[in-house]
Amino acid sequence: MALTKEDLELIAEFDEAARDVSSEQIRLLSVILSENTSCEYLRQHRVSDIPTFKDRMPVIDPDVVQPIIQRIADGDPSSLLTNSQITSMIVSSGTSNGRARMVPSTMTSRQILSQRFLLSNAILKREISGNIVGKSLNFIYAGKLQTTKGGLKAGSSSTLHLRSGAHLNSLSQWTSPLGVVLGPNVQQSMYCHLLCGLLQTMDVTVVTSFLAYALTEAFRFLEEVWEELCNDIATGTLSDRVTDVSVRSAVLELLRCDDELAKKIRSECLKGWSSIIKRLWPNVVYIHTIVTGAMEPYVPYLKDYAGNVPIVCGDYGSSECTVGINLNPRAPPDEVIFTLVPYAAYFEFLELDWQEGEKLVDLTNLEIGKEYEIIVTTITGLYRYRLGDVIRITGYYFRLPQFAFARRKNVMLSINTDKTDEKELCEVVKQASARLEAGKMDLLEFTSYADHSSRPGHYTIFWELKGTVFIEDSILQFCCEDLDSSFNDPYQRGRAAGTIGPLELCIVKEGTFYNVMKFVLQSGLSPTQYKTPRCIKCTNQLNILRSSVMKIYTPSH
Ligand code: AMP
């Protein structure tokens, strides 16, 4: 669809704000403070204006405000964090450790979010999709909506959006009917997304999911179920695996018997999985999904499925607020940079060696090339709140900082003085798993656990391999040695001193990580936002992994 007048206005407004970021940010902070001076949190910290905010407002971890947010969720009517009416609670994925947390949402925060969606769409149209008309094969799942004790709707941002009906305008642009999106079972909906997409092969111009994980899962699933899908299309009947009545009836309305199409799909699938996206959907223009941060491990798989179809990275945000927008959708996954969205929150930054009581850096004083942790103050009543993400400044768009997502801040694995974060874990696993190719094995998923139950404690790495029948012990033994010898210096010192025990590489049965996901989703988290926890902190998840271990490797020395 071509750029509309509204699109051009949105882009112009953004550029205008980019030229005068400081004023935009100060204006936002004074609105937040003046509207909420009487709320309990600001009174408690004796903050009423910008000077008192800068002087006294403490930097906090999300856990500090969770009890207050819980009181709001339970129905406490007082203005605890904000004077604005809280309309719902966003349940965040908790990102790396799988523990969900709640964040308040208001009418204004929803408006800010939809403004950013519209801006992103306008940028995409300007940069990539131009006048293209077609449909999106969107691997989207509504997830469960819950109600808090105080009567507020609670769910992930996408769940709240999808279940509010606000997306009904987009429905005609998706290949799947509403019944599939709202379906209660992820695997059944995934099957139907594929089926509906295949029934409209010539219409699909975009293949998308919120996170790269969902897209990779969908294509791995296609590898398993393609014959069943072809059979459905050839016969005009729907597989028995789809048992949910509303999902079935939504798909049956669309399903027709098309033997020619089934033959074409079958012949493409028989050729293998590289470039399958373009071969099945010849008119696809781009793939849209988040490929940065925790999604990086999925990029090689996605690239293989994608062939030469460009992968456009989605924006960067969290349940708390939007942070960055991707102004250059043509950038390849490893070169993605985001531009700060100045109206989304009041942003401050911490140097990585920041200590309590030291000054925060504002967005006019950031240094190119340096890493910072992001602190946000939002319209929904979060003040100097640590998002837990580290970014690296790469440049400026007018006066707006541009940055690459560096990593999650949290230390994930630690036995002694060693501290291994998500980024390092992903890199070590990536290097060690490169050996798998020689044995025609493929790493599907991984996670880790700092096992303190034995003395000394040790790292456990769980791997799920594709087609586990082909396990080659000697290669996996090498992988295990590589893992153990590649972690950081403090880890190596601990290993040499015997204060850290030998690493365990556990190979789990195929499907184990799907069971971990099913378990995490029971807590109400939306499948759309699910990220595999890279470090296990929850006993139930650990039990699922441990009970599925097929083989354990430990280093020989
Ligand atoms: P949630 O609150 O569940 O939506 O998770 C938000 C977190 O997901 C952020 O704090 C980031 O750590 C991560 N995230 C979201 N978008 C991106 C992105 N485009 N690139 C990298 N990480 C992202």
Atom of ligand 1 nearest to the CA of 338: 19
Q: Kindly report the pTM of this predicted structure.
A: 0.89
Residue 529 in contact with ligand 1 by CB distance below 6 A: yes
Residue 222 in contact with ligand 1 by CB distance below 6 A: no
Atom of ligand 1 nearest to the CA of 157: 4
Nearest by Cα to 386 from 342, 336, 321:
321
Pairing of strands 400-408, 411-413: unpaired
Pairing of strands 135-138, 204-211: parallel
Residue 316 in contact with ligand 1 by CB distance below 6 A: yes
Which residues are within 8 A (CB) of 456 and not within 5 positions of it... i.e. 6 or more apart? 415, 416, 494, 498, 499, 500, 501
Question: Ligand 1 centroid to 387 CA: how many Å?
Answer: 9
How far apart, in whole angstroms, are the C-alpha atoms of residue 206 and residue 181?
A: 17
The SS3 call for residue 237 is: coil
Cα dist from 247 to 18, 82, 258, 552, whole Å: 45, 40, 21, 41
The protein residue with its alpha carbon nearest to ligand 1, atom 19, reads 316
Residue 95 in contact with ligand 1 by CB distance below 6 A: yes
Contact 139, 193 (CB under 8 A): yes
For the chain, the distance separating the N- and C-terminal CA atoms, rounded to the nearest angstrom, is 61
Top-level class of domain 411-553: alpha beta
Atom of ligand 1 nearest to the CA of 94: 3
Pocket-testing residue among 95, 373, 407, 532, ligand 1, by greatest number of atoms within 8 A of Cβ: 95
Q: How much is the pLDDT for 411?
A: 66
Residue 389 in contact with ligand 1 by CB distance below 6 A: yes
DSSP 151: S
Q: Which two tokens stand for residue 462?
A: 């769980």
Question: Ligand 1 centroid to 97 CA: how many Å?
Answer: 13
How far apart, in whole angstroms, are the C-alpha atoms of residue 176 and residue 196?
A: 6
Nearest by Cα to 549 from 512, 497, 503, 501:
512
Per DSSP, helices labelled H in 453-531 are 473-486, 489-497, 512-521
Nearest by Cα to 139 from 188, 79, 199, 71:
188
Q: How much is the pLDDT for 254?
A: 94
Q: How much is the pLDDT for 288?
A: 97
Residue 405 in contact with ligand 1 by CB distance below 6 A: yes
Q: How much is the pLDDT for 97?
A: 47
Residue 318 in contact with ligand 1 by CB distance below 6 A: yes
Residue 89 in contact with ligand 1 by CB distance below 6 A: no
Nearest by Cα to 87 from 67, 101, 73:
73
Residue 390 in contact with ligand 1 by CB distance below 6 A: no
Phi, psi of 420 (to 5 degrees): -110, 120
Cα dist from 93 to 319, 320, 379, 451, 531, whole Å: 8, 11, 21, 23, 7
Amino acid at position 83, single letter: N
Residue 105 in contact with ligand 1 by CB distance below 6 A: no
Q: How much is the pLDDT for 468?
A: 65
Q: How much is the pLDDT for 1?
A: 67
Question: Ligand 1 centroid to 292 CA: how many Å?
Answer: 9
Residue 179 in contact with ligand 1 by CB distance below 6 A: no
Mean pLDDT by 10 residues, the chain (557 residues): 89 95 95 96 96 96 94 93 95 62 94 93 90 91 91 91 77 92 92 98 96 91 96 97 97 96 98 97 96 90 95 96 96 97 97 92 95 97 95 97 91 82 92 89 93 88 84 91 93 87 95 92 81 90 96 91
Q: How much is the pLDDT for 433?
A: 94
Pocket-testing residue among 113, 120, 290, ligand 1, by greatest number of atoms within 8 A of Cβ: 290
Per DSSP, helices labelled H in 74-206 are 107-124, 157-164, 178-181, 186-199
How far apart, in whole angstroms, are the C-alpha atoms of residue 369 and residue 350?
A: 14
Q: How much is the pLDDT for 506?
A: 97
Question: Ligand 1 centroid to 158 CA: how many Å?
Answer: 13
Task: Give Dmax (Cα) for the chain.
Answer: 72
List the beta strands (DSSP E) in 318-365: 322-325, 338-340, 346-351, 361-362
List the beta strands (DSSP E) in 330-452: 338-340, 346-351, 361-362, 371-377, 385-397, 400-408, 411-413, 420-421, 443-451
The protein residue with its alpha carbon nearest to ligand 1, atom 17, reads 316
Q: How much is the pLDDT for 99?
A: 57
Domain segments of the chain: what residues?
5-109+315-408, 133-143+159-284, 411-553
How far apart, in whole angstroms, are the C-alpha atoms of residue 537 and residue 530?
A: 16
Residue 387 in contact with ligand 1 by CB distance below 6 A: yes
